[in-house]
Amino acid sequence: MVTAAIFRAAATVMLLVLSFSACQAQLSSTFYGDTCPNALSTIRTSIRSAIARERRMAASLIRLHFHDCFVQGCDASILLDNSPSITSEKFVTQNNNSVRSFEVIDEAKSAVENVCPGLVSCADILAVAARDASEYVGGPSWTVKLGRKDSTTASASLASRDLPRFADGLQRLIDLFESKGLSERDMVALSGSHTIGQAQCVTFRDRIYSNGSDIDAGFASTRRRNCPATFPNGNGNLAPLDLVTPNSFENNYFRNLLQKKGLLQSDQVLFSGGTTDSIVNDYNRNPSTFRSDAMIKMGDIEPLTGSAGIIRRICSRVN
């Protein structure tokens, strides 16, 4: 009896291990090799066309992937619209009138559906789009592991809780990234994607009018020209996150921080006498070290695989 019980227990453990291993194994760079061999090239063509029309779209696509993965994992939950059963993540403070490029993902999804319907998830398209966007503007490239499924739910409450805010302090940012299994170095590297893209006046107004010791006076003066002091005047006016090379993906972001020219408070705190100063210095001195590892790790945050999740036919709603 005891032997049989031990055998049954061991068998149960083995099944759990095999199930876990199978789930993990489903994320693979060759996941669509047999079922949809043209998936990646189809996505790449669509993404490059979108960025060619508007260079800023590269930053938006990278940010969209980031804002997806930080809420429920990399499951395309951010793409879901409001419905009777879903409260969309699109309208929380960190996303509303800020996160964009949804239509680009829709275009890529439509193109892939024409090639191989019902096989490629929106979550995978988000991950591939971020890589292709980075590569197109001179940033790092990486091998994307594939096989994610799409969620059938979204969580506005988790989005509000887990996504960084533009005025967050250093420890708050460290805690948020650590909760997703990302180190301080990962956090600084991912923040470096702010070397491209733009921010709205409302997100940096307090910083440029603070006359604080952590902002270059000339930089603040320049930014005030298109960002009135009185709320809500000019709230949506845009400024490049990197004034020097706003459309190129390189390490100038880190040089800006050293010169107290980080546009957002959540950027400048990375070089403010804290534990991440040395990492910023490293990335400033060694551009080649600012590469793709952090993006790969982010794309691995809690993916849905196997039977956990679906393949949405349209990314903004559940089938």
Query: Is 281 or 12 the better-scoring residue by pLDDT?
Result: 281
Answer whether residue 26 shows pLDDT above 50.
yes
> Mean of the pLDDT values across residues 95-121?
97
The mean pLDDT value of the chain amounts to: 91
Positions of E strands within the chain: 198-200, 238-240
71 is in an annotated binding site: yes
164 is in an annotated binding site: yes
Quick one: pLDDT at residue 292?
80
> Three-state SS across 174-199?
HHHHHCCCCCHHHHHHHHHHHHCCEE
> Mean of the pLDDT values across residues 31-43?
97
> Mean of the pLDDT values across residues 40-63?
97
Quick one: pLDDT at residue 14?
37
293 pLDDT band, cuts 50/70/90, is confident
Answer whether residue 137 shows pLDDT above 80.
yes
Angle, alpha carbons 169-172-175 (nearest 5°): 150
Please pick, among 56, 63, 65, 67, the residue that the annotation labels catalytic: 67
135 is in an annotated binding site: no
With residues binned 3-state (H G I as helix, E B as strand, rest as coil), the percentages for the chain, rounded to 5, are: 50, 5, 45
Residues whose CB falls within 8 Å of the CB of residue 3, separated by 6 or more in sequence, listed in order: none
Both structure tokens of 150: 């799409």
> Mean of the pLDDT values across residues 6-34?
55
CB 133 within 8 A of CB 158: no
Quick one: pLDDT at residue 167?
95
77 is in an annotated binding site: yes
73 is in an annotated binding site: yes
194 is in an annotated binding site: yes
Quick one: pLDDT at residue 283?
93
Quick one: pLDDT at residue 238?
96
Quick one: pLDDT at residue 246?
87
24 pLDDT band, cuts 50/70/90, is very low
For residues 291 and 104, what is the distance between their CA atoms, to the nearest angstrom?
Answer: 25
152 pLDDT band, cuts 50/70/90, is very high
97 pLDDT band, cuts 50/70/90, is confident
Among 20-24, 30-34, 100-104, 143-147, the least confident range:
20-24
291 pLDDT band, cuts 50/70/90, is confident
Quick one: pLDDT at residue 74?
98
What share of the chain has pLDDT > 70, as a percent?
92
Among 7-16, 130-139, 258-267, the least confident range:
7-16
195 is in an annotated binding site: yes
Does residue 65 have an active-site annotation?
Answer: no
- Domains of the chain by start residue, with CATH: 38-163 (1.10.520.10), 170-294 (1.10.420.10)
Quick one: pLDDT at residue 6?
35
- DSSP readout, 237-267? -EEESSSSSTTS-SSHHHHHHHTT--SSHHH
Quick one: pLDDT at residue 20?
36
Among 22-31, 103-112, 273-282, the least confident range:
22-31
Q: Where does residue 11 fall: left (phi above 0), alpha (psi -120 to 50 degrees), or beta otherwise? A: alpha
303 pLDDT band, cuts 50/70/90, is very high
Quick one: pLDDT at residue 11?
39
Q: What is the pLDDT of residues 223-265, one digit of tens each?
A: 999 999 999 999 999 999 998 888 888 899 999 999 999 999 9
